[in-house]
Amino acid sequence: MEAFRKIDDIVEKSIDRYNVIKTVIESVDLSDLGLSVYYPKFTRVKGVYCAIDGSKNVQNLGDVYLIVAKAVKVIGEVTLGKKVINKDPVFAVEIEDDYMGEDTVSNDSIRLMIYLESQLLGTCDECDYVLLDGPIVDPPIIEEKGGKQSIPSLKELASMRSQHVVSLLEKGKTVLGIAKRFSERFLVSLLKERGYLKDTDYREKMVVDSLLSRFVGEGITGIGVIEWDKVSREVSELDKLMSAYEAYKEHSGGKLKIASVYVKASKIGVPSRVDIAYINNYDLEKVLSLIATWEVKDRAELNLLTVMADALSTINNQEVKQFREYYTIKTVEKLKDKDYILSNFVLRKKI
């Protein structure tokens, strides 16, 4: 079958890419890339930590969409021991007419989720270290246009997030974004720029994982640092990210800066990109020490607090059900014409 032949071709191409990367990585001189290997200065840093994450869920109710967004803040205290405090989650709900279309509704749901996360960013004065589960500039890929005027635009979110981050930095806090899912080709473009690769048609995560595996042992290891102000915008993925970054800088009055380091906890661990927010300078070894303080022991994840925030922010079926059924009940309650019923969330005339 033609479909199987296409899959065979894709597999063959993937293997070829992997072999190219494997050969390239073995010959890479980190100093030639302007990068270095870093390790934590400490494995335990005292203080109060906040981890923030959000999620969203879209339900098709027949002639409308129900958007549910949720965000949580998990607090971890490190003194002589460790204590984790789970704060109550925050929710937001919106209803959109189905003529808006799935793409518009999806964009709105993402922006609503980021809005809730950003609101929680403004409540972190009690914390010394703020860990976002995901990048700081998030996300650079969704469309600006939306259906609901009540949901902040990308520009409004950039203003809100950047000002919250700068406010925390000015109070002496540390703000990090820990992204397990990343595709922006910082390292791929750097390897092409230095002549190691002919093009940029390679997966960033595969390159990062291969490079980190050369140096990682049985503890937290980082490779960096990539300062965003020095990044080339020639690669299309980077151009989108840099445009978003420039918007964040503009809304922060030029104060906010970001640097990234790639981190792994062990050879079998999942690579992550850690984005460091700063105004004047940053301490990379301390950043790795903060991550090591909450290192997950089974090495399947990187940081316990962001793992907990990720799990607790996920919208479960019961939460969706309560909002969906409330919508149904209120609609039936307000419906004066007894000749109509709600069937599968669609208004239908009784037969």
Q: What is the structure's pLDDT at 72? A: 94
Whole-number average pLDDT of the chain = 86
pLDDT tens for each residue of 272-325: 999 999 999 999 999 999 999 998 866 667 888 888 899 889 998 888 888 887
CA dist 135 and 180 (Å) reads 9
Q: What angle do CA 152, 158, 162 make, to 5 degrees?
A: 130
pTM confidence score: 0.88
Q: What is the structure's pLDDT at 100? A: 73
Give residues with Cβ within 8 angstroms of 229, minimum separation 6: 257
Q: What is the structure's pLDDT at 26? A: 87
Residue scoring higher pLDDT (13 or 28): 28
Q: What is the structure's pLDDT at 36? A: 95
Q: What is the structure's pLDDT at 45? A: 94
Please say whether the beta carbons of 176 and 293 come within 8 A.
Answer: no
CA dist 302 and 323 (Å) reads 33
Domain boundaries, the chain: 2-315, 319-349
Residues 59-77, mean pLDDT to the nearest whole number: 89
CA dist 116 and 87 (Å) reads 14
Assign 255 a pLDDT band (cuts: 50, 70, 90): very high
pLDDT tens for each residue of 328-344: 777 767 665 555 555 55
- β-partners of residue 50 are 75, 130
pLDDT tens for each residue of 107-166: 899 999 999 999 999 999 999 999 999 999 976 666 666 667 788 888 899 999 999 999
Whether a cis peptide bond, with omega within 30° of 0, leads into 89 is no
